[in-house]
Amino acid sequence: MKTIDDYNFEGKKALIRVDFNVPLDGDFNVTDTSRIEAAKPTILKVLEDGGSAVLMSHLGRPKGKVNPDMSLSHIVETVSEIIGVEVKFAEDCVGKVAEDAVAKLEDGEVLLLENLRFHDEEEAGDEAFSEALAKHGDVYVNDAFGTAHRAHASTTIVAQFFPNNKCFGYLLAKEIDAIAKVMQTGEKPVTAILGGAKVSSKITIIENILDKVDNLIIGGGMTYTFIKAQGGNVGDSICEDDKMELALDILKQAKAKNVNVYLPVDVLAADDFNNNANTQFVDVDKIPDGWQGLDAGPKTLEIFHQVILGSKTILWNGPVGVFEMESFAKGTIAVGNYIDEATQKGAFSLVGGGDSVAAVKQFGFDEKVSYVSTGGGAMLESLEGRTLPGIAAILD
């Protein structure tokens, strides 16, 4: 696996695909800079070698049309502050404007190109567009894990124009390494904690990781499909009735592969889906009609605690309750604390996938786990066992 450390960029222009698809407020201020901060080490390596960096990214979904609200010009100041170098800006990513800006770029300087998705050809993976992008650099560096599962021009197709001069940036290399630690080289016992609302969105992940894990903890809304499938009463809890056979099949597969499956035994149930609802702790298979399970109960958390503490490698994907409401966040916070405790004792812990990343950031666990993945969809597809086009293009 070629990484940025395999290159000396002295006198060279690095064309770096970053993921600066950051949230902006109504005044176009960046409200979460973590993606920019994550790309900083890669950019600085190029500059410290004595090279220059040409950055390309998308922002939002402009659908191939120029949309001033989604211009990367809004983030130039923030990127400059974080990197510590004044970042120049090109008002297009291909054509004369971009080429002139790249030609003027001197060693030690950084140029940010305009939003790639202002051109239809980016998402279409157009070869001519990719070739136009390739003109901007001597070496291609992919550091955008969040888009590595897309075969877009800037993430995948452009790599073919750098047959011997392409590599992973630090962030993407760390993501690949973190997933490999869970899926291939992880010290046993390996525990996967899967939460979230639906079994259907996690089927492929579950089926792929059953060969790799020793323990599977299931929480969140998908709990109730498993419980109802086994004859339990789940009241008004979220449940995919058409996935009950599948849930039973997953349990059967896990048993055949000697994987221990831990489902909640008790839950915090509410008589309405809101923070001020009446609540009670009940057995997970005896939820009264008119009530719904919205968080893990104390007996469940004690079981989860023991399993997590006994683990050497931990994957967490999905909350175990409706953490967005304070009344139902205790279970997710507890799981975060248990993973923190296990990590301090030497376990490797990886958190990835939309809601779990939001939860660890909200409750301050992002500094307490081994690694927080920046790529939602890309992370999930990796866990499903798919080869991501953006990664394959570098390895090819």
What is the domain-level CATH number for residue 374?
3.40.50.1260
Asked if residue 192 and residue 169 are part of one domain, the reply reads no
What residue type is assigned to position 5 of the chain? Answer: D
- 100 shares a domain with 206: no
The last residue of a domain, from among 124, 140, 173:
173
* Geometric angle at alpha carbon 351, from 174 and 385, rounded to 5°: 70
Claim to verify: residue 204 and residue 324 sit in the same structural domain: yes
Q: Do 192 and 130 fall into the same domain?
A: no
Annotation-wise, does 21 bind a ligand? yes
Domain match, 205 and 302 both: yes
- For the chain, the domain total comes to 2
Per-residue pLDDT tens listing for the chain (396 residues): 899 999 999 999 999 999 999 999 999 999 989 899 999 999 999 999 999 999 999 999 999 999 999 999 999 999 999 999 999 999 999 999 999 999 999 999 999 999 999 999 999 999 999 999 999 999 999 999 888 888 999 999 999 999 999 999 999 999 899 988 888 888 999 999 999 888 888 888 898 899 999 999 999 999 999 999 999 999 999 999 999 999 999 999 999 999 999 999 999 999 999 999 999 999 999 999 999 999 999 999 999 999 999 999 999 999 999 999 999 999 999 999 999 999 999 999 999 876 888 888 889 998 999 999 877 778 878 888 888 899 999 998
**Secondary structure class of 243 (helix, strand, coil):** helix
| 20 labelled ligand-binding | yes
Q: Output the pTM of the full model.
A: 0.86
For residues 190 and 314, membership in a common domain is answered with yes
Same domain, yes or no, for 222 and 358? yes
Looking at the fold, whether 287 and 342 belong to one and the same domain comes out as yes
355 is in an annotated binding site: yes
* Residue 35 annotated as part of some ligand binding site: yes
308 and 254 together in one domain? yes
Question: At 372, which amino acid appears?
Answer: V
**Residue-range definition of the domain harbouring residue 79:** 4-173
**Residues of 265-304 as b/e, b for ≥16 C-beta within 10 angstroms?**
bbbbbbeeeeeebebeebbbbebeeebbbbbbbeebbebb
Last residue of a domain, one of 123, 144, 173: 173
Catalytic amino acids? 35, 198, 354, 377
Would you say 139 and 163 are in contact if contact means Cβ atoms under 8 Å apart?
A: no
